Structure 1
Amino acid sequence: MDFLALVALAAIGLHFLRRRDQHARIALLGSRLAPYRIEPQMETLLDGYLRWLDEADVDRRRQIWQTLSATEQSLAEQLRRFAADVAGLEAPLAQVSKLPMWLPWAQPLLSGRLLFDVRRAFAIHAEGVAAVAANEPGLDDKARAYMMSAELLLLQHTCHWFCRSKTVAGARLLARHGTSYTQVLASVSPRTRDAYVALTGR
């Protein structure tokens, strides 16, 4: 068998390994998210903030904001419960590669400094969303909506990073929301940003 044939076989093998690993992670995360309404509530908030900003009628804006505030509180509670649920994952299943691209057998092969624990990441997200929902930073409504949007986008980024890779997560963030990982990280609360960077690196 010549060299090119070996390379082709290796590439095919890696492709199937990647698909199997990613499908397993997607299924794992999906099973943990299934009891909650986290994803639809995130979408409700992200779309709702834009609708609130575009609304000219003062009374209507107030009504929309009240609805959004109630959704924030519900989401914060669900994320708290979700993070507690995920904390029960076995450690090997919770390890995520910090490398930009997917690597086969990354968890057993990489040293601890090249991995992060997604259980801690979800705890950081739950704490960050709860703090902004309670308006602990003391922001006006517009700034609070902006910060909460960033907190939710960073959470979404972590989910994609866990299931696929950091590079894919960043590309999806840019494609779906027109914003970069760097911009999102700069827009979350300082407490979330510091904890997230300490856990995952830049």
Structure 2
Amino acid sequence: MEFFSVFILVVLAMQALNRRGQRERTALLAEHLRPYSIEQSMEQLTHAYLRALDEKDPERQHQIWQLQSPTETRLAEDFVSLATSFSRLAPPLARTPKVSIPYLEKLVPQASFDMRRALAIHAEGIGRAVRNTSLGEKDRAFLILAEMLLMQHTCHWFCRGRAVASARMLARHQTSYDKALASVSARTRNDYLKLINGPALGA
């Protein structure tokens, strides 16, 4: 009975520490996001792309794609600025655990990934997608959407953990993490997987 009580106390303490770490990371990311209109740009592009995909008139569809160019450019530029701002953080502040163990990122860096590098990868991926003129408008829009969704997943992972991030993506966008990862560019996917997989724990 005494062991069970101690076990419960340990679990409750770990949950409290996890919540504290999540609040700290959420506040940190929110602070760096505040100067930019990234979330607004993403919402506008998502709605516009979906509207264009539903449009039956090819000319009207083309107009919708073309009208998004300023927002796409602003998103790419804002994300480069965000990644640059975040890159100035000290390493311990920029790391997030791969599994929900309180402050694991500080105790065992190999069991975490560096959000500074993750944001740089997403900035590069979104920028490449926005500048890609070799794809048709529909395929280009799908690529930008995929890059945005994977980036959003990373931000939620940094703040709340991987399971919560995946559940949110599925609930809000009816898209799984694996599908988003498979839909981004090969370069983004390779760089991202190399980052989050990293060296094995104890390697």
Using structure 2 for the length normalisation, give the TM-score. 0.92
Q: How does 1:2-13 map to 2 (within 5 A)?
A: 2-13=2-13
Number of the residue aligned with 2:197: 201
- Which range moves more in the overlay, 147-156 or 103-112? 103-112
Q: Does 1:82 align with 2:82?
A: yes
Number of the residue aligned with 2:105: 107
Q: Is the partner of 1:133 in helix, strand or coil?
A: helix
Gaps of 5+ in 2: 199-203
Q: Any idea what the Cα deviations from partners look like across 1:167-194, whole Å, max 9, x if unmatched?
A: 2211111111111111111100111111
Q: Is the partner of 1:96 in helix, strand or coil?
A: strand
Rounded to whole Å, the distance in 1 between the matches of 2:137 and 2:126 is 15
Rounded to whole Å, the distance in 2 between the matches of 1:5 and 1:135 is 59
Q: How does 1:26-37 map to 2 (within 5 A)?
A: 26-37=26-37
Number of the residue aligned with 1:124: 121
Rounded to whole Å, the distance in 1 between the matches of 2:18 and 2:29 is 16
Number of the residue aligned with 1:20: 20
Rounded to whole Å, the distance in 1 between the matches of 2:149 and 2:17 is 28
Q: CA RMSD in A?
A: 1.6
Q: Is the partner of 2:68 in helix, strand or coil?
A: helix
Rounded to whole Å, the distance in 2 between the matches of 1:130 and 1:189 is 11
C-alpha contact (below 8 Å) 2:97/2:103 kept by paired residues: no
Give the partner amino acid of 2:112. L
Rounded to whole Å, the distance in 1 between the matches of 2:13 and 2:75 is 41
Rounded to whole Å, the distance in 2 between the matches of 1:134 and 1:35 is 24
- Which range moves more in the overlay, 114-123 or 62-71? 62-71
Rounded to whole Å, the distance in 2 between the matches of 1:105 and 1:4 is 24
- Which range moves more in the overlay, 49-58 or 4-13? 4-13
Rounded to whole Å, the distance in 1 between the matches of 2:80 and 2:42 is 14
Number of the residue aligned with 1:145: 141
Taking only the aligned residue pairs, the percentage that are identical comes to 48
C-alpha contact (below 8 Å) 2:25/2:158 kept by paired residues: yes
Rounded to whole Å, the distance in 1 between the matches of 2:165 and 2:74 is 26
Number of the residue aligned with 1:70: 70
Q: Does 1:156 align with 2:152?
A: yes
State the shift of 1:10 in Å: 1.9
Gaps of 5+ in 1: none
Give the partner amino acid of 2:127. A
Give the partner amino acid of 1:133. V
Rounded to whole Å, the distance in 1 between the matches of 2:24 and 2:103 is 13
Give the partner amino acid of 1:3. F
- Which range moves more in the overlay, 154-163 or 13-22? 13-22
Runs of 4+ in structure 1 deviating by more than 3 angstroms, as ranges, are: none
Name the count of aligned residue pairs. 198
- Which range moves more in the overlay, 150-159 or 3-12? 3-12
